[in-house]
Amino acid sequence: MLRVFWCILSRDITLALRRRTDVLTTLFFFVIVVSLFPLGVGTEPALLRELGPGVVWVAALLASLLALERLFAADYLDGTLEQMLLAGQPLSLLILAKVLAHWVLTGLPLVFIAPLMAIQYGLDKAAIWVMMASLAMGTPVLSLLGAFGAALTLGLRGGGILLSLLILPLYVPVLVYGAGAVSVSVIEIADTKPYFSLLGAFLLAALVLAPPASAAALRISME
């Protein structure tokens, strides 16, 4: 079981590293979207501090969405997805490996680049730590939920737009509590713990529910 999981994980990461532009596009998209806001709304420090958490989180949401379409599409086109469905392995496990690879390539880099982005918004050190932690907990949820959407819209014409319409509403709770944690951390007496508890709960629920749901969706899409 573990061997198969590792095999798919390393396969997807190897593939992405051989086609680096795909990974870098997502990252640069994130950087550019976040950097555009200060240019647009002006450089009032108080305003930027207020906007920062929300902007970074919305950009992370969109960046994650950008890469989602490719999660199954490439494998679908060359027939490797078909082989995975027929592999004699639990499909949920294979999907979990693919999602983890997707997160390592698109979610994890955001966690590390977020501090640089936060500096543009004048967030202090404590808020930056909270932002990194909330992204680290929230972005896997985005990947997991996104996999479900990607599986449902696989092979449809205009699937990309449909995917956004389908998945963005599901991202709302993660956005609210992810950005909320950072906003609240700016206030001195505030406690961010409830926010993280909720993000953790989302993560666990998505971890348990998303892979089997995606597997079922994939089987329907492949018919």
Partner 1 sequence: MLEAEALACRRGDRMLFTGLGFALPAGSLLHVRGRNGSGKTTLLRALCGLLRPDDGSIRWRGEPITELAEDYNRDMLYFGHLNGIKADLSGIENLRIAATLDQDGCADADILAALARLGLAGFEDLPASMLSQGQKRRMALARLILSEAPLWILDEPFTALDTDAVALLEALIAGHVAESGTVVLTTHQPVQLTGGAIQRLDLGSGPSVKPAAGGVRSA
How many residues bind to partner 1 according to rule CB under 8 A? 24
- The residues in 64-123 that bind partner 1, with binding defined as CB under 8 A, are 77-80, 82-90
Site string for partner 1, 157-196 (x = CB under 8 A): ----------------------------------------
Asked if 15 interacts with partner 1 (CB under 8 A), we say yes
Q: Take residue 73 and report the two structure tokens written for it.
A: 């599409």
Cβ 160 to partner 1 shortest distance, Å:
22
Closest approach of partner 1 to the CB of residue 223, in Å: 5
* Helices 108-120, 125-152: inter-axial angle, 10-degree rounding: 140
Cα distances from 48 to residues 36, 83, 158, in angstroms, run: 12, 49, 36
Q: Are 171 and 63 in contact (CB under 8 A)?
A: no
- The string over 86-115, giving b where at least 16 C-beta atoms fall within 10 Å of a residue's C-beta and e elsewhere, is eeebebbbbbbbbbbbbbbbbbebbbebbe
CB 221 to partner 1: min, Å: 11
Q: Cα–Cα distance between 154 and 164 in angstroms, integer? A: 13
Tell me if 18 contacts partner 1 by CB under 8 A. yes
Footprint of partner 1 on this chain (CB under 8 A)? 3-4, 7-8, 11, 14-15, 18-19, 77-80, 82-90, 222-223
